[in-house]
Homo-oligomer: A and B are copies of this chain.
Amino acid sequence: MEQLRLAVIAGDGIGPEVTTEARKAIRAAVDGVEVVETEYALGAAHYLESGEILEDATIDALRSHDAILLGAVGGDPSDPRLAGGIIERGLLLKLRFAFDHHVNLRPTKLHPKVQSPLREPGDIDFVVVREGTEGPYVGNGGAIRVGTPHEVANETSVNTAFGVERVVRFAFDLAEQRSKRVTLVHKTNVLVHAGGLWRRTVDAVAAEHPDVAVDYLHIDAATIFLVDRPSRFDVIVTDNLFGDIITDLAGAVGGGIGMAASGNLDPSGAHPSMFEPVHGSAPDIAGTGAADPTAAILSAALLLEHTGQAEAAERIRAAVDADVDARGDARRTTSEVGDAIAERIRASKEHA
């Protein structure tokens, strides 16, 4: 039987709880595939216990898997031992860079039964293709005279033709399978060098896709459209930092961050891709059963889609849709939601 070798990084806070439900969904959804799951104890708690954030040997071990399922990492934000994003950078960003996750894929789709904070949300159904290995995330910053009145702290955003072109191509290919509209989001009127590279790249790739409509929005204007008329978007392509910002906003207007899934992809397949909910570890609600596992479960669907299990992915999505449709006012725990979705997945397989 074919194997799907999964690495699971459950992480911190609500990470383990939502990952448990995502794993149930995967096991329920696959057909004729043996799912081999290997747990990796990583995250803030693991670091505080063991001193390890992410060893090279662990990266090598992760490399041997078909995909990585990640819950959430990050501890108490006020803990000085975790200051400066040491876990986020040393674990999450390190994996994205080590595994060349240059496409950070973040779909937003407002389910008709889910209430958006917007008065008139309209038909929200778009995907953000966020670059994942460049921009201000490269860690090329530094400071002098730290802690003195003469401190200077710089951060450099690095952007390459190689890095921009591949993600722009991905966005156009995706648009070809959707409503054939690509919006570039940047700040070309201020960040002229990076902006020029992005614009010229989009223009060049657009010329190869005459059937795809292309437009451009400054990042500030894009946030306005995301609340005033989010239905205008189909595929948004943007840099690492702008993508970080608008996908949280998109998650919020698209029915809440409890529904927002993401994939960190190396579409070349050279490295395992990594799938995670957009939300964080939410230490304040950890252990209470209040976490919504839907974003993690939808991330599992992305995982299956990108490891060649399109039908299994579709089963998960249909089950989530049905679960949302059937939602009443009663609060359900994390595992109640996960069990209900897994049950629907199994039922759909039997009736197929």
Contacts of A231-290 to chain B: CB distance below 8 A: 241, 244-249, 251-253, 257
Question: A190 near B156 (CB under 8 angstroms)?
Answer: no
Q: For residue A142, which residues in chain B have a CB less than 8 angstroms away from its CB? A: 193
Contacts of A124-178 to chain B: CB distance below 8 A: 136-137, 141-143, 145-162, 165
Known interface pairs A159-B153, A192-B84, A192-B85; A224-B245 also in contact (CB < 8 Å): no
Q: What distance in Å separates the Cβ of A87 from its nearest Cβ neighbour in chain B? A: 9
Nearest residue (CB) in B for A257 is B224
Question: A190 near B257 (CB under 8 angstroms)?
Answer: no
Known interface pairs A151-B160, A153-B159; A245-B220 also in contact (CB < 8 Å): yes
Q: What distance in Å separates the Cβ of A106 from its nearest Cβ neighbour in chain B? A: 11
Q: For residue A188, which residues in chain B have a CB less than 8 angstroms away from its CB? A: 84-85
Question: B190 near A85 (CB under 8 angstroms)?
Answer: yes
Question: A191 near B141 (CB under 8 angstroms)?
Answer: yes
Bound CA–CA A150/B150 (angstroms): 36
- Report if A327 contacts B (CB, 8 A): no
Interface residues of A, Cβ cutoff 8 Å to B = 77, 84-85, 88-89, 93, 115-120, 136-137, 141-143, 145-162, 165, 187-197, 200, 216, 219-221, 223-224, 226-228, 241, 244-249, 251-253, 257
